[in-house]
Amino acid sequence: MKQDTVLIIGANGQIGTALLPQLQHLYGYDRVIATDIRPSLQSTAIFETLDATDAAAIATIVKKYRITQIYHLAAVLSAKGETDPLWAWNLNMQTLLNVLEVARTYQIQKVFVPSSIAAFGEHAPKYETPQSTLLDPATVYGISKVAAENWSVYYHKRYGLDVRSLRYPGVISYQSMPGGGTTDYAVAIYHAAVQGLDFECFLAEDTLLPMIYMDDALRATLELMEAPAHQISVRTSYNLAGMSFTPAQVTASIQTYFPDFKTTYQPDFRQAIADSWPKSIDDSVARHDWGWKPAFDLPKMTHEMITHLTEIYHQVA
């Protein structure tokens, strides 16, 4: 086992829920501390309730457990953030700055701060969006992610803090329910199908967006964090790609298992958000620097999602 002690902030979220057991396997149960503002969703973890807007509270946990790595996963996502932009901005930025300051003060070895394809806007190339391009996001979530990328570079250059980041596409998983993101339809649609329900999609059927299956997202995260520092050439955030598909394509993929499954389309305010984002991502820099390569395409992901969700709903029944 590795000797680091890892703090997860936002452990109850979509990524945190799935990342926790991976980190426990890598570092050991006693060396992974899960935190969230809400009570723990998992009994198999050392858990502390934490309001990450309170820097002193973060520092207390860092000192108590002698933390050496922080995964800062707490954030208000794109669609939810648009319902109250100032609240979303204040929460996203205050928690980030608290984490960076505590990490600097207590000489944390590595910090992971996720970014998103929401950092891109209407003037970035839509297809094979490059690593370096204009960032003019259309949402407060995207604005906060661009700011986070720049703060990460600042803390690295000014203080030598080893901050690492990935621009996640839409992350699809069975481990937790959707959390307020624009790409969440691609999670909810599988839940509906497995329950024998039809699905009403809030995006148009031909809306092409970059996505990634959770297993690939977790592996990318851990591969990035385990890579030697000299291999990390990007200190803003690495482009990350898995696959791109439309609601119509994921519906067709599900219909290979449930032929009677149907999707209807009622685009809402999230359509404008999706239209501002890339349709596919160029992640060649990540592939070059630390050997990234996705393992899941749409058919393989659909098989995994349906298999696992069927097991979950049968257990509930």
The set of catalytic residues is 141
Q: What is the three-class DSSP state of 67?
A: coil
Beta strands in 114-250 (DSSP E): 115-116, 163-164, 166-168, 170-172, 199-201, 209-213, 238-239, 243-245
Whether 281 contacts 169, CB under 8 Å: yes
Contacts of 228 by beta carbon, 8 Å cutoff, 6+ apart: none
238, 224 contact by CB (below 8 A): yes
Tell me if 176 sits within 8 A of 16, measured CB to CB.
no
Retrieve residue 49's tokens.
Answer: 């309730």
Element at 263 (helix H, strand E): strand 263-265
User: Side-chain half-sphere of 224: how many Cα atoms within 13 Å?
Assistant: 30
Strands 110-112 and 46-49: unpaired
- Strand bridging mode 238-239 / 199-201: unpaired
Q: Using DSSP, state whether 144 is helix, strand or coil.
A: helix
Which residues neighbour 305 within 8 Å (Cβ) at sequence distance 6 or greater? 172, 174, 190
Strand partners, 49: 36
Q: Is 71 helix (H, G, I), strand (E, B) or coil?
A: strand
